[in-house]
A and B are shown apart, each in its own frame.
Chain A
Amino acid sequence: MTGGPRRRRIRGSAPLPLLLPALIGLAFLVLPLVALLIRAPWRSMPDLLTSTEVWQALQLSLVCATAATAVSLVIGVPLAWLLARVEFPGRGIVRALVTLPLVLPPVVGGVALLMALGRNGVIGKWLDAWFGITLPFTTAGVVVAEAFVAMPFLVISVEGTLRAADPRYEEAATTLGASRFTAFRRVTLPLIAPGIAAGAVLAWARALGEFGATITFAGNFPGRTQTMPLAVYLALQSDPEAAIALSLVLLAVSIAVLAGLRDRWMTAS
């Protein structure tokens, strides 16, 4: 992503063999969203969107995505640092494992989480027996599912930035007497802040849209585990118009966030 050869900006008019597929690509990505706007039931929109279920789902989505991003930051940034700065045997395999949730179908992630953290799961069995904690069907379960799927985005992004950042600053700090942790806190973190921000936004957006792992691991209950994507999916079964309206809300929120953080985003990538 970063750290490649410096790109030179191409000036002048683009050749047709490049321009044409580029425009098709643009249309391919944008047209479905435009169709959503065209088919939106604008008249019944106010009624559809003021229902308590929609607000509950939206609120829950925002809270859970933010919590999942926080979890990812706390454990994901150190993980990225480990991958970028410490040489250890099997690092390639660890990196592959970390990025696995990126390519794994989210439903598979949900099943895997059930097997690990479910009431009858490998770890979940003990959580239940010792602390009486069960994660499925709880809001915490939603956060876990979202963090599982979203954290790799953060780790990848932060690791890339760390590799691009010059390690000599850290080394200089340690030779001047700072401990490695102080050097990380005072030198490395500020250095890679834009990369962390970009990764956090990516993770947050991915968590907000997470569906498969959530419905598989955390179930679907309004106000507790029903996030917006679940509400959209289930609305589609009985009331397609409501599903379109809900989709628009999610679209608007996503665009607002990406637009709001555009500057940091651009500097990071």
Chain B
Amino acid sequence: MTRSVRRTRRTLQVAGAGAAALLALSACSSSGNSSGDSSSAKSDSTSSASASGKLSGTVTVFAAASLKESFTTLGKEFEKAHPGTKVTFSFGGSDALAASITGGAPADVFASASPQTMKIVTDAGAASGAPATFVRNQLEIATLPGNPDKVASLKDLTNSDLKVVLCDKAVPCGAAVQKALDASKLKLTPVSYEEDVKAALNKVVLKEADAAVVYKTDVKAAGDRVEGVDFPESADAVNDYPITLLKDAPNAGAAQAFIALVRSAEGQKVLNAAGFLKP
């Protein structure tokens, strides 16, 4: 008895999901195809046109960990502007995200923290059209609150009394730090090369390390748990953040609209407030 009820419910669920998928497919064939190969500049108008139409379903966005706060805000704005849509995120290291996309993860949008990681996706032929740079991120030194060690420059971090953590060179923030160090001909020996930018920041938040070199946005997101110190060499190591629609996107129409929102003046306002620079 209960089993049969459960079974009918499941059949209904499957049917519903199928119908939703069909709707989503038809939605993207009306809006997605027309803009799929065109330049990203044109996609703004396409998506705003389809916005008045029928966007629905779930948009799955894979985004760099540093975008967590701002993209979550943008996702909520998107859902409000397009009732019936839902934006789900997978935040993580850009490399790991790129690997799961090329491995066949069902995602609609990929926003990465560096062109190199985006290249993994475009080289595999998993992107639709050319990725567009939507923000840039600059490095900043994160110190303990109140800056007790009086760190004022990148050179101050070479003081061997200080426990400094950096990102590993294998991840974008580490590569950027290395670029800044090379440009200023400084040699810096950290106590640890952390596996991603948030791990490096957290060692300072937990007061295990005295300083870390992270992104400006991470310092901002940490609030008063760390203090940020700007350094001029960071201008030599600015990271571009590219975003792209994915070729096998299950919900391409709504995904286009989300990318448009990220790149719109409104989206830029949210991103700038988080500490990102204009592209």
Contact = CB atoms under 8 A, between A and B. Distances in A.
The answer to whether A and B assemble together is yes
Interface of A: 114, 118-120, 136-137, 215, 218-222, 225-226, 233-235, 237-239
A118 B203 CA distance: 10
B192 A237 contact: no
Given A119-B207, A120-B208, A237-B168, A137 B192 contact: yes
Contacts of B206: 114, 118, 120
Given A219-B194, A220-B193, A221-B192, A237 B208 contact: no
A215 B195 contact: yes
B191 A234 contact: no
19 contacts: A118-B207, A118-B208, A119-B208, A120-B207, A136-B191, A137-B191, A137-B208, A137-B209, A219-B194, A220-B168, A220-B193, A221-B190, A221-B193, A234-B193, A237-B170, A237-B195, A238-B169, A238-B170, A239-B170
A35 to B, nearest CB: 14
A233 B195 contact: yes
B165 to A, nearest CB: 7
A215 B171 CA distance: 15
B208 A234 contact: no
B82 interface: no
A219 B165 CA distance: 9
Interface of B: 93, 95-96, 163, 165, 168-171, 190-195, 199, 203, 206-209
Nearest to B165: A219
Contacts of A218: 192
B190 A237 contact: no
A212 B163 CA distance: 21
Contacts, number: 56
Nearest to A125: B207
Contacts of B199: 215
Given A137-B192, A225-B192, A239-B170, 19 more contacts: A114-B206, A118-B207, A120-B207, A136-B208, A137-B208, A215-B195, A219-B192, A219-B203, A220-B192, A220-B194, A220-B195, A221-B190, A226-B193, A234-B170, A237-B95, A237-B96, A237-B168, A237-B171, A238-B169
A19 B163 CA distance: 57
B109 to A, nearest CB: 22
Nearest to A240: B99
Contacts of A120: 206-208
B198 to A, nearest CB: 12
Please provide the 5 A-B residue pairs with the shortest distance between their CB atoms, ordered closest to farther: A219-B192, A137-B191, A237-B170, A238-B170, A120-B207
B208 A114 contact: yes
A215 B193 CA distance: 10
Contacts of B207: 118-120
A221 to B, nearest CB: 5
A238 B93 CA distance: 12
A65 B123 CA distance: 40
B94 to A, nearest CB: 9
A234 B192 contact: no
A65 B199 CA distance: 24
A235 B170 contact: yes
Most buried by A among B93, B169, B194: B194
Nearest to A138: B191
B191 A237 contact: no
A237 B193 CA distance: 13
Contact of B191 (A114, A219, A235): A219
Contacts of B96: 237
A186 to B, nearest CB: 45
A234 B165 contact: no
